[in-house]
Structure 1
Amino acid sequence: MSTPGRPRLYLIDGYALIYRSFHALGGGVPLRNARGENTGMAKGVSEFLRRLIEKHKPEYLGWVNDAGSSGREELLEAYKANRVALPEEEQQDFDTGVERVHQLLAGYRIPTLELDGFEADDVIATLAPQGVAAGLEVCVVSGDKDLLQLVQPGVWVLNPWHGPPGRTTEKWYGVDNAHERLGVPAERVIDYLALVGDTADNVPGVKGIGDKGALALIEKWGTVENMLAHVDEIEPTRARNALKNAEAEARLSKELVTLKRDLPIALDLSSLTLDPPDWVALRDLFVELEFGTAARTAAVNAEAAGAAPNAGLERAAEAAVDVEGHMVSARAARAAVPGTPAPVATDYRVADTPALLAEAIAEARAAGVIAVDTETVLDAGAPPIITPMRANLVAISMATAPGKAWYFPLAHRMPGSAQGGLALGDEPAPAKSKASAAPASIAARLLAEGPQPVVNLPPLESEPMAPLRALLEDPGVKKTAHNVKYDLLVFRRAGITLRGVDFDSMLASYVLDPSRRSHAIDALAVEFLGVAMTGYDELCGKGKQQMPYDEVPIAAARDYSCADSDIALRLRELFLPRLAEQGATALLHEVELPLVDVLAEMEWTGITIDVPWFRSLKTRFEAARLDLEKQIHAEAGESFNVNSNPQLRTILFEKLGLPIKKKTATGPSTDASVLQELADEGHALPQLLMEYRELAKLESTYLDTLPGLVNPHTGRLHTSYAQTVASTGRLASHDPNLQNIPIRRELGKDIRRGFIPRAGWRLLAADYSQVELRLLAHLSGDPAFVAAFEAGGDIHRQTASVIFGVPLEAVTSEMRARAKTINFATIYGQGAHALSRQLKIDHAEAKAFIETYFERFAGVRTWLDTAVAEARERGYVETIFKRRRYIPEIKDRNFNTRAFGERLAQNSPIQGSAADLIKKAMIRIHHALGEAKHTARMLLQVHDELVFECPPDEETALRALVDREMTGAVQLRVPLVVDIGSGENWLLAKA
């Protein structure tokens, strides 16, 4: 396929690209950032512009916008009138997307063209021949078929969306192949469209003449005018009669589809040259949009261009909307944030001699505040998950000032060697080059240049390394890290107790704004410092070509690791004043940082699982799953692959004719919400499918996985706890996730039965009773709600008594169930629609039920309304421990987004306070266990529950200690209650 020569002028049909991007990525289930903004259109346009500029390198480029209809509406009132208006929510998303596109165009410095009163197509049609006359190859960029009429020598059409959805490529259309799109050459496109019409623009065409008929007529007669001049000779009869009956429509349609080439606009090439993009503006914009890869690329380019880094954008300052609901640019937001850090020159050195080791340690002690980072490799045979309990220390980096850091190699080795590298002072042996045609990683490229020396320091436990060990264990030298819990555990495996930790840049980021999409150090470096860090895959490669970290040449490893500690130290300087300004210093230093030691101890301890029990469960689960599969096939009337969504769609929506609830790009959705809705309507197959999926998930997540994650060194299972995942402040368990084991189903209970204490000990489980409802009572101060808790007993029965106005003894099980549902619906800000589905009652009844509830508990209603009003005024809500959550969604113009923000304003203080409460309790218990010198240990945290193991003779004392510390973690208007149980496994302890 031929392509244009050089130089080229690219003319982009702007709104064609905008509509395509919106409907491909912004409609259906749209791409949204953490603030709830629909970013689909911006994503599509951004990716398109990047590809166009990088791949085609246009000498001249113009983005052409519509600014009217070129008088076509005067010819045909219905012209484009059949375009269906978007629903209000989607229209708001569309308008926001267009604003973002304008920011993208400004950032890429792409010239825009428009002529008042005319469509973009006509502007392009006028400029294209002018470009040819100027000696350029004109490239019209659009997927619209009507622009093919412009193709002539020197004018090309580039369709960026050739092919089926999801597998689109770009395709050039020139004089030689223009016919491939519609079946006619470029000079007959207007005749073809005049005959078949264009439903998108409401061009009528000739009724009765379709695609094949039009092609046959054009092949014989050419133009529409020639057809009409010889209409009596037209064959077949149907086509002849159609043309006779619609002569006016044919002529009108041709006029409508013919692009105007004589508009009063002249081609000014000097205004269409491409300047380098404003990478700083793009970086800030991509940070707002949460396009991580694009933000990092922009940051790299901004650094290369010598741009100053930005100050980062606080959630309050960077909110996408102001109080009137209008977009705020990144630059305008940043103007309100003082203290933009200046660029920092870097000095990263390797300490691999006694003199350099001593110099580095002296420098660290003189600084008094340092940042540390560890580099590791996994044990041989360890599962491919990042866990410190299977990680071996390869190197340490230490930053002593912004831009200044040291690298301590401990266990680097020659590529492919089984043993570590040389010790301090030894001579390196020649290394074999791993040169390849195009090394993909930094390490591979460096190795391709020739042998790289490998010189390690002595083993960490040796006498020459005592000064470094002393520095790391000295509480008088303040330590900073990013995700310090990982480093604590890695150091502990290496025999070092890291002391003096007083800052974690990851936790600080989380405390400042828990809703930030990523708290990873590379994301924060781009957002706050304008620095693009080297990624692990860039350093080591990807997939099968990935090099183990300990084989990375020390020169490359130095820069990679030192950047981690350096950036952590720079973020410390940036975040400390912001924490103070926000009043969040205490939350970091009294909750999140102390919790690190607690979680590290829990992860180090782990928990025992009964592996033979899990193996027996696997057999039972398989049998139960196969039985369900038979029931599903019987209900469907045929056998099919239950795990195949296409086959499932065919069964549900074609064979059984069930109503389609939601569509995706590939067809009707079969996700959990759809199956639940269908099951609620009484359909049996969706209910069976949900049970099957739950069973299969339990089987794969726990029975197939947990035995393989038992640590061979300890014989126990070690989960990891993440502090920076949930915006509410909740902890998250991963690798493996032990927080989502269901307790209601018997098979879920059987999984819990497999968690056991060490031999001869017992498990103890302590669970806050209805803590979120107690916090709601405390925060609202509603007298009836507070009194219900003070009375003790069953709070849902107490609530039902108040709502239905009956004595406690008259409360039925149904009344209690409804009261329980609305109690929790209140916490999550659910309305009548959600409640009607949960209670399986009609909307009016649910609405009346809610109204009655808030009549009885008027204080709750007042508090909920106040929470929304305060969030709208301040832009955030707080927990009782002053954890702040920004809610820019509450000022959004989009109704659904705004309603989502209002729900967040109501439930975040409750859920966040519950999260803080359990954290405070864990810290108190951790210290109390140490002070009492108990051998009992805290093992797990699951939402409002804590799990311990203890010897039998400590159980009574442990119960008392846990109850005291959990109930005393905070003073509320209502009593805190803790349910405590014990047993030989987790299920019995929970019961």
Structure 2
Amino acid sequence: MADVTRPTAPRLFLIDGYALIYRAFFALLQRPLSTSRGENTSIAWGIASFLKRLLNTHQPELLAWVHDSGATFRDELYPDYKATREKLTDDLQADFDQGLQRVLQLLAAYDIPVLSAPGFEADDVIGTMAARGVEAGYNVVVVSGDKDFQQLVRPGVWLLNPGRGGPASVDESWVGVENGSDRLGVPPERVIDYLAIVGDTSDNVPGVKGIGEKGAIELITQYGPLENILANVENITKKRPREALQQYADSARLSKQLVTIHCDVPVPFESEKLTVGQPNTDALRALYLELEFTSLLKDVGGAVPVATSSGTGATSTAADVAPALPVPGRPAAPAVTLGESGVPVLADARYVTVDTVEALATLLTRVREVPYIAIDTETVIEPGAPFDVDALRSRLVGLSIAVAPGEAYYLPFAHRRDDGSGNLALLAGDTGTGIVGRRINAGAPEPVNLPPFDSDACAPLRAMLEDPSVTKIAQNAKYDLLVLRSSGVRVAGVGFDTMLASYVLDPGRRSHGLDLLALEQLGHTMTAYDTLVGKGKTQLPFDVAPVDTARDYSCEDVDITMRLRAKLEPMLAEHALLSLFQEIEVPLVSVLAEMEWEGIAIDLDWFASLKARFAAERGRVEQAIYAEAGEEFNINSNPKLRAILFEKLGLPVKKKTATGPSTDASVLQELAEEGHVLPTLLMEYREIFKLEGTYIDALPRLVHPRDRRLHTSYSQTVSATGRLSSHDPNLQNIPIRRELGRDIRRGFVPREGWRLLSADYSQIELRVLAHLSADPAFVSAFKAGGDIHRQTAAIIFGVPLEDVTSEMRARAKTINFATIYGQGAHALSRQLRITNAEAKAFIETYFERFAGVRGFLDQCVVDARARGYVETLFKRRRYIPELKERNFNIRAFGERVAQNAPIQGSAADLIKIAMINVRNAIDAEGLASRMLLQVHDELVFELPVEEADTLSALVKREMEGAAVLNVPLLVEMGLGTDWVSAKA
């Protein structure tokens, strides 16, 4: 199955509005939601929930809601078009119309424009806006589950089926160029030909009677578009389709006209009006109160009253426990002024350009007078860099420093003049180039820079940045540390990071961005980067910004960072989170920056050989699949796969989607566990296919030209559990259990003459569980040492340790981890291949033997219900609003989170502490060894051979001593010439 590359910013989302409204209405037709006054709120609830999910999950830059406008040219072309749709009764029509009005109120409150065009359907408006969006440099996302839109998919245009929430929830799904043929079996450019033949019963499109989906695919595969099929109708060997096409040729031509989306509708494309802004929270609050959407009120800072239950499930009677980072009703917006720079500036602020050595000296004197400063770097990305944001491939343009709220300075180093000669958008006066483009077109002055950052004249500045006695604060400090490291400076003294503070206060929130924090906590709307330099193809590099424009933009960042610190630090203290923040999260920033800077070498020759081996292995599996299926087919086509698995081979259907039986990983896994060969081969094929694209092909392209090493990026603010995540590339998802994954890891090597050291916590989460639960039997099992799973098996099955069989150990291991992740009897039965009754009895026996574990897990849920959150050993909080949901499945998920988060979060805290302590110990002993990677519970180091004993002892000491628990922490270590041999 092809992975879909997701669209990157800037993105234009186009919502097929009526489709969502109809779905929301009819999904709850038998049991509609209603207020205590009796108003049907099914549509309003469905759309409000959808908008919240879309905005939180995808954070679109541009957005439009598209509606039909009444009769269209298709009705004139074919009077029976959509004539078979069921008419609503008068009462239902009244409910529908009222729901539609509520949707329009919601859209107005969100400031989402509604688009339509007389005489055309929403499909045509969407098609037109998609075409114009791509032309304007946007990646376009059409939000709809309608298969007709697949004809629009092409480079720059995606289709997003939004899925649905509720008890029968369905995950959203993406269609892009990689999987554009999966659903219908034909590529996007042939969708209209396919629909012209098979017709569409929902729209009463006639098609060609007598030819079904399979026949249409065969014809299109052989002849291409409908016109070519009709031209070759006499050459079609099969009698039935040949005669059907001869008889219904006119019907096919008409159907193609009906299903073809027009992309030239007279509707304006105005990016300014489509730009996503901030919703009118007062209007939303009033609407939610009127509709009794109590659970949504917290999103707009509304007080949650004691609700009067209407018995509909649309409201909640329990008050939500707020996270430590409150989202108040938006504070009053502070006054701003607009000067020559074109950037709005806070009225009480003074932003100064420092462009002489004398002014720099004065600033450095001022820096020494204040308790702390805020810093921010401005950069341009290197040409050819694989990612839009990459600190290690960015060049320093300027630096801003705030010394107090409202007092900030901008230091320009590499601004240049751009007269527009190399930029057609500038020459044309394109407003898409933002504030900077307008300034340049108006005739900006020649930039004046300080001497280069690495010059002798700037040595005092570099010394200040490296001085640990000068406390620095920042938003996303790691980025600035890496940019400055690339410029020769190792920043010291980082004492506060507003992004991390937001994360510690509320790890589950959708964004910890500076602009959102400024709006929520200060009421201030910051100047967006796209507003400054434009978007897409017309976006200008930051170094052509006039210096005064750059100054006001960059100084705003550090000024807001300074002001936010004053807001966030007291919140951390109030909720007893300051220790976690100051002793773990902030010190970890410099550790991660050093690891990212170092990177790790990969053996390019090895990866070249892997490419050939993986291709051969994929070919072998393909042939095995064809042999098992009895025919060759497109393995990446879901329709083809469904036909083989469930029609030809008659395998049992495990789950269904909107388009038919599912062939996702869980289905294949279940079928494989039942002993079916083809699903097992398909899983193997998909794994090879994914590894090829994600690692074999990708990793060599990501090697940095500076040092020919691979540099991943770590994020502290993604996982709500406290775990670190790795991206660009993600090195935490390389499979290790199979030989293919180990082959990839063999390509990770030390520099010549050095070695890699792997240090991996042994059973860290089980040890944390033993400590937290204080279960005597569990604690004793760990203190006894040896194989914990054998120890557990002996206790569960009541046999001496020496009598534990390999099967007993395997079962004990499975349930040990099932306990951590809250798996029930059904999941355990599948894993162990036993009946549900046997799995249930096994779980009961486990908790009889380890009653303290059961008591601890139950208490976690009780505490979470009472407080709204759970805590780790180090007081990290995980808020669990799901426990307040009426839906059983969501609530059950919340219970599993409540049980798992203290365990997984504590393990995450422990390895973070270990990383800090190991780094400090390496520095203290003056070793040349370096910490390179963190993957789950493992740390990977690079070291000279002569430091092997010293480093091994140091790492073991610091990792096992990261905390004192009532069970010992154990680290397993290995040394090798590649990552795999170091794990052996």
Q: What whole-Å deviation, never above 9, does each CA across 1:457-514 have from its counterpart, x for those lacking one?
A: 2101224334433443343332111111111111122122323211001111111111
- Normalising by the residue count of structure 2, what TM-score does the alignment of the two structures yield? 0.69
| Equivalent of 2:953 in 956, 960, 973 | 960
User: Do structure 1's residue 788 and structure 2's residue 777 form an aligned pair?
Assistant: no
Distance (whole Å) between structure 2 residues aligned to residue 457 and residue 103 of structure 1: 53
Distance (whole Å) between structure 2 residues aligned to residue 984 and residue 418 of structure 1: 53
User: Do structure 1's residue 764 and structure 2's residue 765 form an aligned pair?
Assistant: no
Counterparts of residues 523-602 of structure 1 (less than 5 Å):
523-602=516-595
Distance (whole Å) between structure 2 residues aligned to residue 979 and residue 612 of structure 1: 30
Distance (whole Å) between structure 2 residues aligned to residue 607 and residue 921 of structure 1: 20
CA gap 1:678/1:969 in 2 versus in 1, 3 angstroms: same
Distance (whole Å) between structure 2 residues aligned to residue 755 and residue 211 of structure 1: 58
How far apart are residue 358 of structure 1 and its match? 4.7
Q: What whole-Å deviation, never above 9, does each CA across 1:544-597 have from its counterpart, x for those lacking one?
A: 333222233334433332232222222211110000011010111101111112
Distance (whole Å) between structure 1 residues aligned to residue 29 and residue 529 of structure 2: 31
The corresponding residue for 2:386 is 383
Q: What whole-Å deviation, never above 9, does each CA across 1:263-285 have from its counterpart, x for those lacking one?
A: xxxxxxxxxxxxx9982436889
Q: What whole-Å deviation, never above 9, does each CA across 1:22-64 have from its counterpart, x for those lacking one?
A: 779999xxxxxxxxxx9853155789999999999x9xxxxxx
The corresponding residue for 1:516 is 509
User: Do structure 1's residue 755 and structure 2's residue 743 form an aligned pair?
Assistant: no
Unaligned runs of 5+ in 1: 1-13, 28-37, 59-77, 84-93, 111-138, 144-159, 170-209, 213-275, 289-294, 296-309, 420-429
Contact 2:638–2:663 at 8 Å: present in 1 too? yes
Distance (whole Å) between structure 2 residues aligned to residue 823 and residue 370 of structure 1: 49
How far apart are residue 747 of structure 1 and its match? 1.6
Contact 1:287–1:527 at 8 Å: present in 2 too? no
The corresponding residue for 2:837 is 844
Counterparts of residues 376-775 of structure 1 (less than 5 Å):
376-415=379-418, 434-775=427-768
How far apart are residue 947 of structure 1 and its match? 1.0
CA gap 1:719/1:312 in 2 versus in 1, 3 angstroms: farther
Q: How many residues align?
A: 759
Distance (whole Å) between structure 2 residues aligned to residue 495 and residue 866 of structure 1: 52
The corresponding residue for 2:270 is none
Contact 2:327–2:521 at 8 Å: present in 1 too? no
Letter in 1 for 2:980: L
How far apart are residue 975 of structure 1 and its match? 1.0
Query: 3-state SS of the aligned residue for 2:414?
Result: coil
Query: 3-state SS of the aligned residue for 1:939?
Result: strand
Contact 2:306–2:318 at 8 Å: present in 1 too? no
The corresponding residue for 1:373 is 376
CA gap 1:688/1:54 in 2 versus in 1, 3 angstroms: closer
Query: 3-state SS of the aligned residue for 1:377?
Result: strand
Contact 1:318–1:334 at 8 Å: present in 2 too? no
Q: What whole-Å deviation, never above 9, does each CA across 1:908-937 have from its counterpart, x for those lacking one?
A: 000000000011111111111111111111
Distance (whole Å) between structure 2 residues aligned to residue 880 and residue 628 of structure 1: 47
Distance (whole Å) between structure 1 residues aligned to residue 906 and residue 53 of structure 2: 41
Percent identity at matched positions?
Answer: 59
Please report the RMSD computed on the Cα atoms of aligned residues, expressed in angstroms.
4.7
The corresponding residue for 2:317 is 326
| Equivalent of 1:41 in 43, 47, 50 | 47
Deviates more, 1:98-107 or 1:395-404: 98-107
Letter in 2 for 1:326: T
CA gap 1:489/1:44 in 2 versus in 1, 3 angstroms: closer
Letter in 1 for 2:777: A
The corresponding residue for 2:334 is 343
The corresponding residue for 1:74 is none
CA gap 1:605/1:685 in 2 versus in 1, 3 angstroms: same
Query: 3-state SS of the aligned residue for 1:592?
Result: helix
Contact 1:311–1:338 at 8 Å: present in 2 too? no
Contact 2:402–2:559 at 8 Å: present in 1 too? yes
How far apart are residue 948 of structure 1 and its match? 1.1
Distance (whole Å) between structure 1 residues aligned to residue 101 and residue 936 of structure 2: 41
CA gap 1:40/1:441 in 2 versus in 1, 3 angstroms: farther
| Equivalent of 1:816 in 809, 818, 821 | 809
Query: 3-state SS of the aligned residue for 1:766?
Result: strand
Contact 1:829–1:906 at 8 Å: present in 2 too? yes
How far apart are residue 867 of structure 1 and its match? 0.7
Query: 3-state SS of the aligned residue for 1:613?
Result: helix
CA gap 1:796/1:531 in 2 versus in 1, 3 angstroms: same
Letter in 1 for 2:908: A
Deviates more, 1:502-511 or 1:672-681: 672-681
CA gap 1:402/1:767 in 2 versus in 1, 3 angstroms: same
Distance (whole Å) between structure 1 residues aligned to residue 301 and residue 659 of structure 2: 38
Distance (whole Å) between structure 1 residues aligned to residue 285 and residue 662 of structure 2: 36
Q: What whole-Å deviation, never above 9, does each CA across 1:649-674 have from its counterpart, x for those lacking one?
A: 34334443444434445544332222
Contact 2:757–2:975 at 8 Å: present in 1 too? yes
Q: What whole-Å deviation, never above 9, does each CA across 1:688-708 have from its counterpart, x for those lacking one?
A: 111111111111211112122
Letter in 2 for 1:281: D
How far apart are residue 815 of structure 1 and its match? 1.1
Distance (whole Å) between structure 2 residues aligned to residue 15 and residue 447 of structure 1: 44
Letter in 1 for 2:904: Q
| Equivalent of 2:915 in 901, 919, 922 | 922
Distance (whole Å) between structure 1 residues aligned to residue 969 and residue 323 of structure 2: 46
Query: 3-state SS of the aligned residue for 1:439?
Result: helix
Distance (whole Å) between structure 2 residues aligned to residue 413 and residue 443 of structure 1: 12
Deviates more, 1:430-439 or 1:475-484: 430-439
User: Do structure 1's residue 909 and structure 2's residue 880 form an aligned pair?
Assistant: no
Contact 1:433–1:450 at 8 Å: present in 2 too? no
Distance (whole Å) between structure 2 residues aligned to residue 919 and residue 979 of structure 1: 17
Letter in 1 for 2:317: H
The corresponding residue for 1:884 is 877
How far apart are residue 367 of structure 1 and its match? 3.7
The corresponding residue for 1:281 is 282
Deviates more, 1:510-519 or 1:442-451: 442-451
Distance (whole Å) between structure 2 residues aligned to residue 502 and residue 821 of structure 1: 43
Contact 1:312–1:334 at 8 Å: present in 2 too? no
The corresponding residue for 2:340 is none
Deviates more, 1:896-905 or 1:440-449: 440-449
CA gap 1:341/1:469 in 2 versus in 1, 3 angstroms: farther
Unaligned runs of 5+ in 2: 1-16, 31-43, 70-87, 113-117, 123-141, 152-202, 206-276, 290-295, 337-345
Q: What whole-Å deviation, never above 9, does each CA across 1:58-102 have from its counterpart, x for those lacking one?
A: 9xxxxxxxxxxxxxxxxxxx989999xxxxxxxxxx9xx999979
CA gap 1:897/1:715 in 2 versus in 1, 3 angstroms: same
How far apart are residue 777 of structure 1 and its match? 0.6
Letter in 1 for 2:774: G
Bigger Rg, structure 1 or 2: 1
CA gap 1:278/1:858 in 2 versus in 1, 3 angstroms: closer
Distance (whole Å) between structure 2 residues aligned to residue 108 and residue 383 of structure 1: 35
CA gap 1:344/1:903 in 2 versus in 1, 3 angstroms: farther
User: Do structure 1's residue 779 and structure 2's residue 761 form an aligned pair?
Assistant: no
The corresponding residue for 2:137 is none
How far apart are residue 381 of structure 1 and its match? 3.3
Distance (whole Å) between structure 2 residues aligned to residue 507 and residue 684 of structure 1: 48
Contact 2:405–2:563 at 8 Å: present in 1 too? yes
Distance (whole Å) between structure 1 residues aligned to residue 696 and residue 587 of structure 2: 34
Deviates more, 1:584-593 or 1:951-960: 951-960
